[in-house]
Chain A
Amino acid sequence: GNSVTQMEGPVTLSEEAFLTINCTYTATGYPSLFWYVQYPGEGLQLLLKATKADDKGSNKGFEATYRKETTSFHLEKGSVQVSDSAVYFCALSSGQGAQKLVFGQGTRLTINP
């Protein structure tokens, strides 16, 4: 079945550091890939998405490229801010019918000033 594996957290960085959160997936067919962010005490918000190989999703300075050859969708940001502290979830969807997303376990990110 489909699955998503994220790098384990927690991740702690200083402000303005470079961020990478690794995500790899296993899926049949051609899934769509997503990154969601969850701020403390809130639900999840869509951060970015990519629907086919070599697509790059980007939003709020974050980027991720759909790499079919390595089955990866790593999240990157060049210079993180304290306000980026949150839990980040990688997810995939088969795109068939209802969006039954499969989520990774989440990576908690803390940015220190």
Chain B
Amino acid sequence: SQTIHQWPATLVQPVGSPLSLECTVEGTSNPNLYWYRQAAGRGLQLLFYSVGIGQISSEVPQNLSASRPQDRQFILSSKKLLLSDSGFYLCAWSGQVPNSPLHFGNGTRLTVT
């Protein structure tokens, strides 16, 4: 069966520090991969998605970047965190077939102080 791992579960970082969140998927190949952010009391915002190794699409301009160095690895990064980067970050994967559901990791709660 397929599983998705996301870490760390919680993270407290000072403003101006770098960020690296990692997500890996097991049990499937060539998945679509996604990073979402959930701000407190709000819905989910798609940040990045990837349909293949090295292929990254950004949905909103921001202080973050994403990379996909391997087929089942998706990394969210920042060189210098802002206070507004605080939130709950969710990684997800889906199959390539149209209308495939998204499968989410358990999320990373990031607090920038």
B98 to chain A, nearest CB (A): 5
Say yes or no: is B99 at the interface (Cβ < 8 Å to chain A).
Answer: yes
Chain A residues whose CB sits within 8 angstroms of the CB of B107 once the complex forms: 42-43
Q: Which residue numbers of A lie inside 8 Å of B, CB to CB?
A: 32, 34, 36, 41-46, 49, 51, 89, 93, 95-106
Compute the total of residue contacts between A and B using a CB distance below 8 Å: 63
B28 to chain A, nearest CB (A): 14
Distance, CA A41 to CA B44, complexed state (A):
15
B104 near A103 (CB under 8 angstroms)? no
B99 near A93 (CB under 8 angstroms)? yes
A100 to chain B, nearest CB (A): 6
A32 near B43 (CB under 8 angstroms)? no
Q: Which residue of A32, A44, A51 is within 8 Å of B104 (Cβ)?
A: A44
0/1 interface trace, chain B 1-12, chain A, CB 8 Å (1 if under)? 000001000000
